[in-house]
Amino acid sequence: MIRLRWTAACTAALLAFAVLPTHGVRADERPVFTLDIRDHRFEPAELRVPAGVRFKILVRNHDATPEEFESYELNREKIVAGNSEITIFLGPLDPGSYPFFGEFNMDTALGTLIVE
């Protein structure tokens, strides 16, 4: 009898959570912005994204050598192996400019995330 009540209570709780409205955007529904690395440079050098929204940046490294996406302002540091890609989850961000760079080629791998 106790087991039946426990099972019924658990089932009711699960059903209650299943019908609750969800707020926000799931990670797989976030807008995706693409940033390419070619010849040790970020393309585009200025990537524009909306303010107040969670989003993803797909970083595709077309070079044979690794590069890094690093930003002190965005609190991100991630290596992108040669001829591969990574996804960086960000936001929501306030409007402004957020510089980023590639630590392996700091003279050329420079960019700015423009949030508007």
Residue 102 above 50 pLDDT? yes
Question: Long-range contacts for 19-28 (Cβ within 8 Å, ≥24 apart)?
Answer: 24/54, 25/53, 25/54, 27/54, 27/56, 27/89
* pTM > 0.85: yes or no: no
Percentage of the chain modeled with pLDDT above 90: 75
Mean pLDDT across the stretch 82-109? 97
Q: Per-residue pLDDT tens for 1-57? A: 555 565 555 555 544 444 444 455 565 689 999 999 999 999 999 999 999 999 999
Q: Which domains does the chain have, with CATH numbers?
A: 31-115 (2.60.40.420)
pLDDT for position 29: 86
Q: Please, is 60 exposed, middle or buried when counting C-beta atoms within 10 Å of its C-beta (0-12, 13-18, 19+)?
A: middle
